[in-house]
């Protein structure tokens, strides 16, 4: 669906462990599964695709989610903006609505093997499939806005889905997670 631009940020690649570096170098990141998986690239632009921006930039994920560490590498995201990060050799998932983190117990190669074996379950493609059934689609640089958020009891009655710019979705999610953390 999308392959990244030419690598123009080789310094970021040097900071990555070999298995992740090899994945990113092959096409400089990509968007696959009709927007269900976005693997960021070693580029400065577009900002939505930049690993540097997501990891080290002013709006880096670890700056907004207390459950994340500065060394966690936010290399990929799903269609609704949940993040996959590399922490040491382990892939963790940030549930962006709540800020909760879960370990997948997988390394980089095992994660991508799981995606290839069962993308629907591994990537949680159900919202994307619903959006497509309703006639919607994602363009590169877009994510699915979910209303009401999945973490609310109202979501059990159904949700409205629409494609929005990735930055808009990220800001909404981090604000929601911050508000929810103050309620605990």
Both structure tokens of 49: 């695709």
pLDDT per residue over 131-166, tens digit each?
999 999 999 999 999 999 999 999 999 999 999 999
pLDDT at 50: 98
Angle between helix axes 18-25 and 108-117 (nearest 10 degrees) is 50
Assess whether pLDDT exceeds 70 at residue 181: yes
Distance CA 70, CA 22 (A): 22
Question: Which DSSP symbol is given to 156?
Answer: G
pLDDT at 74: 98
Distance, first Cα to last Cα, the chain: 40
pLDDT at 87: 98
Number of domains comprising the chain = 1
Mean pLDDT across the stretch 123-138? 97
pLDDT at 182: 87
Domain span including residue 177? 2-183
Mean pLDDT (the chain) is 96
């Amino acid at each position: 669906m999308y392959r990244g631009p030419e690598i123009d940020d080789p310094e970021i690649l040097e900071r990555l462990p070999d298995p992740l570096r090899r994945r990113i170098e092959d096409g400089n990141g990509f968007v696959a599964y009709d927007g269900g998986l976005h693997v960021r690239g070693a580029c400065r632009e577009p900002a939505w695709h930049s690993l540097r921006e997501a990891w080290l930039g002013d709006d880096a994920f670890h700056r907004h989610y207390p459950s994340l560490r500065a060394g966690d590498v936010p290399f990929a995201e799903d269609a609704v903006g949940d993040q996959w990060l590399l922490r040491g050799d382990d892939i963790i998932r940030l549930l962006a609505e709540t800020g909760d983190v879960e370990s997948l117990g997988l390394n980089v190669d095992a994660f991508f093997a799981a995606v290839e074996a069962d993308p629907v379950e591994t990537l949680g493609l159900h919202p994307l499939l619903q959006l497509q059934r309703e006639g919607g689609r994602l363009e590169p640089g877009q994510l699915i806005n979910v209303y009401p958020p999945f973490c609310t009891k109202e979501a059990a009655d159904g949700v409205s889905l629409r494609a929005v710019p990735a930055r808009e979705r990220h800001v909404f999610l981090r604000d929601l997670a911050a508000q929810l953390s103050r309620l605990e």
